[in-house]
A and B are shown apart, each in its own frame.
Chain A
Amino acid sequence: MKTGIAFWNIIKKDIKNYYIKPPNISWGIIFPLSWTLMQLTRSSGVMNISDIRGMLPGLMAMSVLFGTTSMLAVTITFERKGHSFDRLLLAPISLSALVIAKLSGAVLFGIFNAFVPVAFAAFFVDLAGINWGEALLIVFLIAVTSTLLGLMIAVSAKEVFEAQTFSNFFRFPMLFLCGLFLPISSLPVFLRPLSYLLPLTYGTDMLSGTIIGASVLPPVLCVFIMLVFTAVIFIYCQYNIRKKWIL
């Protein structure tokens, strides 16, 4: 019960302090929208609105990735610098509960980001027939792994600008490596193993399966691999927090 109160209030505080601030809301809306429009006009310079459904898996995955990694990395680094993160470390809640609470706010923000392109697309194309429950679950998994990536960055960074630099270092290559807008099969052969080392590849593949019926890998395998990624990064982050922040 006591941990529950603390857990819920950490999420509430993060959402109120960071995620529903006007700059972040506008980032969460404008960024996915801009990418959607950019993708729609990318080849011919003419907007082809019927393509939007085909682009949704990539746009959704990208929106989650960008929304979650930078937000968590920046907010934790910011709290570390202002010592307010120490207050959380000193609270009588387990490190696991604390980490999950910190992740939850960013995960919710990522899910919100993911559905901005969906809301936009709904104005132009028929999105009926898509299993949105399944899509939400996949978006959730992508959000969790991306948020953990943000936490991994936060543990390594001392300054906010370092966190931003690190997160870009990871995120931009992932745009090309994880099959968001280019199929992995079109990548040079030597890059493909790298694609399969990144959890976003599996999330995007599952989204492609759910939204346009074009997945390459079996969904069960994708879910399993994403869960393994989640567990490994979660344990690694906890280990690093103990090692680096509890001196």
Chain B
Amino acid sequence: MDIAGIVTVANLSKRYGSLIAVNDISFSIRQGEIFGFLGPNGAGKTTTINMMIGLARPSGGSVAINRIDAVKDIKKAQSIMGIVPDESNLYDEMDGFDNLCFCGSLYGMSKAKRENRAKKLLERFDLTNAGKRPFKAYSKGMRRKLTIAAGIIHEPKILFLDEPTTGIDVESARQIRRLLLELKRGGTTIFITTHYIEDAERICDRIAFIVDGGIVAAGTVPELMKSVSHGYTIQLAADTDLKPLAEELQIHFDGCIVKTEKNNSATLFSEKRIALSPVLQYLDGKGVAVFEAKELRPTLEDVFVKITGIEAARLKKERERGGMVK
């Protein structure tokens, strides 16, 4: 794996007694990219992020943030980090505006600068009207958004987000994804942990899968897809049973394997990419009306399931536990 990055993690480990929470992981994050850290609950995502931001001490290995040894000099590294933990850590008694200003002050921002930035962030997150309300009166989505705003008030070079869209509504999740992409365009490097594979697929440049404390795969989304995808698939839904035509289709489209279903549908597999129009024309010539035809691509979830051996059902269960509506 590429080691020349703004963040370099090498042979990082964390043990709690006999339990190995993170086991000898290495990866690097390039400047200006969104790096996704994916894994099921308990895989070691939060422990890893905690070691990177200074809330946990590594049992072994190193973390370098912008060439600063974050294990030895975490305070220096923290000055360029923005941190959004999985649980909102703002002050319930303070209002939104004061919370943001206080967080800005922790990074040494002047009063005028932090107030100005707080106003802009409240506006950006549609929280202007809620700015004078105490944080404890915020909804879950609003709390999440304000926590993210607090994490970026000082315009950090690197932003760490732990499960940023867990348990919030669709619109807030969308807003957060949009913001992350905007920050990326502005040059911010983003490290994000999530167990929502769809989130990672939408916004991450590169992804690492962590299971049981170890990284099992890493790369760009297409690279990861390629590692499990062997061929192309077309799915058809017609007005009649396609079984009698299966053999003809296989002969007509060389190298194609056809699997038919009872509900007048069929799936065509091929090593080479199959264009849809010749298939549709062929079936039309046979008097078959096709209602639906689509190319099926493997999703990142397929990749994850294949690589990690974790069943989709378990992921679905976790998603339901997280309470996210997607």
Residue numbers in B under 8 Å from A94 (CB-CB) = 75
A-B pairs, 4 with minimum CB distance: A2-B108, A9-B105, A92-B79, A91-B106
**How many contacts between A and B, using CB within 8 angstroms?**
73
Q: What is the minimal beta-carbon distance from B82 to any residue of chain A, in angstroms?
A: 10
Within 8 A of B (CB), among A230-247: 246-247
Interface residues of A (CB under 8 A from B): 1-6, 8-10, 13, 17, 82-84, 86-94, 246-247
- A3 near B108 with CB under 8 A, answer yes
Kindly list chain B residues whose C-beta atoms are within 8 Å of the C-beta of A92. 75-76, 78-79, 106-108
Which A-chain residue is minimally distant from B136 (CB atoms)?
Answer: A82
What residues on B are CB-neighbors of A6 within 8 Å? 105-108
* A89 CA to B54 CA, complexed, in Å: 8
The reply to whether B94 and A17 contact each other, CB–CB distance below 8 Å, is yes
Structural contact, B109 and A89, CB atoms closer than 8 A:
no
Indicate if B103 sits at the interface (CB-CB under 8 A): yes
Nearest B residue to A79, CB-CB:
B91
Query: Which residues of B sit under 8 angstroms from A89, Cβ to Cβ?
Result: 54-55
Q: Establish whether residues B91 and A84, one from each chain, have CB atoms under 8 Å apart when the complex forms.
A: yes
Task: Give per-residue flags for B73-105: 1 if the beta carbon is below 8 A from chain A beta carbons, else 0.
Answer: 001101101010101111111100000001101
A84:B90 contact, CB within 8 angstroms: yes
Q: Are B102 and A13 in contact (CB under 8 A)?
A: yes
Task: Find out whether the CB atom of A93 lies under 8 angstroms from the CB atom of B89.
Answer: no
Instruction: Tell me which residues across on chain B come within 8 A of A83, comparing CB atoms.
Output: 85, 87-89
With A13-B102, A91-B78: A86-B85 Cβ-Cβ less than 8 Å: yes
Residue among B83, B92, B109 making CB contact with A90, cutoff 8 Å: B83
- Known contacts A82-B89, A82-B92, A92-B79; is A5 also within 8 Å of B55 by CB? no
The CA-CA distance from A2 to B106 in the complex, in Å, is 8
Distance of A170 Cα from B87 Cα, bound (Å): 34
Question: CB-nearest residue of chain B relative to A86?
Answer: B89
Of B50, B102, B109, chain A has the most CB atoms within 10 Å of the CB of B102
- A9 and B87 contact, Cβ closer than 8 Å, known pairs A90-B53, A247-B56: no
* Candidates A1, A13, A17, A90; contact of B108 at CB < 8 Å: A1
* Given A6-B106, A13-B102, A87-B89, A246 and B94 contact (CB-CB distance below 8 Å): no
On whether the beta carbons of A88 and B94 are closer than 8 Å, the reply is: no
- Residues in A neighbouring B105, C-beta threshold 8 A: 5-6, 8-9
12 residue pairs from A and B, CB less than 8 Å apart:
A3-B108, A4-B108, A6-B105, A6-B108, A8-B105, A13-B91, A13-B102, A86-B89, A87-B89, A87-B150, A92-B79, A92-B106
CA distance A2 to B75 in the complex (A): 12
| A1 CA / B79 CA spacing, docked (Å) | 14
**B57 within 8 Å of A (CB atoms):** yes
**Residue B11 at the chain A interface, CB threshold 8 Å:** no
Contact status of A5 and B103, CB under 8 A, knowing A87-B89, A90-B78? no
Please determine whether B106 and A246 come into contact, CB atoms closer than 8 angstroms.
no
Contact of B106 among A4, A17, A88 (CB under 8 A): A88
For the complex with contacts A86-B89, A246-B55, A246-B57, 9 further pairs of A-B residues with Cβ separation under 8 Å are A5-B109, A8-B105, A10-B106, A83-B87, A87-B89, A89-B55, A90-B53, A90-B83, A91-B78
Q: Could you tell me the distance in whole angstroms from the C-beta of B297 to the nearest C-beta in chain A?
A: 40
A89 to B50 CA separation, bound complex (whole angstroms): 12
Q: Contact check, A91 vs B56: say whether CB atoms are below 8 A apart.
A: no
Are B93 and A17 closer than 8 Å at their CB atoms? Answer: yes
The answer on a CB contact under 8 Å between B107 and A87 is no
Q: What's the minimum C-beta distance from B21 to chain A, rounded to whole angstroms?
A: 10
Contact B103 A87 (CB under 8 A): yes
Assess the A247–B57 pair: CB atoms within 8 A: yes
Q: How far is the CA of A41 from the CA of B85 in the complex (A)?
A: 55
Q: Which has the most chain B C-beta neighbours within 10 Å: A3, A82, A87?
A: A87
Q: Which residue of A lies closest to B79 (CB)?
A: A92
Q: Which residues of A contact B79 (CB under 8 A)?
A: 92
A9 to chain B, nearest CB (A): 4
Q: Which residues in B have their C-beta under 8 angstroms from that of A86? A: 55, 85, 89
User: Which residues of chain A come closer than 8 Å to B108, judged between CB atoms?
Assistant: 1-6, 92
B41 interface residue, CB < 8 Å from A?
no
**Shortest Cβ distance from A245 into B: residue:** B55
Across-interface contacts of B83 in A (CB, < 8 A): 90
Chain A residues closer than 8 Å to B93, beta-carbon distance: 17
- Report chain A residues within 8 Å CB of B91: 13, 17, 82, 84
Determine if B264 is an interface residue (Cβ-Cβ < 8 Å): no
Nearest-CB residue, chain A, relative to B90: A84
Q: Are B76 and A90 in contact (CB under 8 A)?
A: no
Interchain CB contact under 8 A, A246 and B89 = no
B110 within 8 A of A: yes
Complex Cα–Cα for A92 and B107 (A): 6
A72 to chain B, nearest CB (A): 17
Q: Nearest-CB distance from B163 to chain A (Å)?
A: 14
Contacts of B81 in A (CB 8 A): 90
Q: Which residue, B87, B91, B108, B110, has most C-beta atoms of chain A within 10 A?
A: B108
Q: How far is the CB of B33 from chain A (nearest CB, A)?
A: 22
Q: Smallest CB–CB gap between B229 and chain A, Å? A: 40
Q: How far is the CA of A133 from the CA of B109 in the complex (A)?
A: 36
Cα distance, A82 to B83, chains bound together (Å): 16
Q: Nearest-CB distance from A215 to chain B (Å)?
A: 42
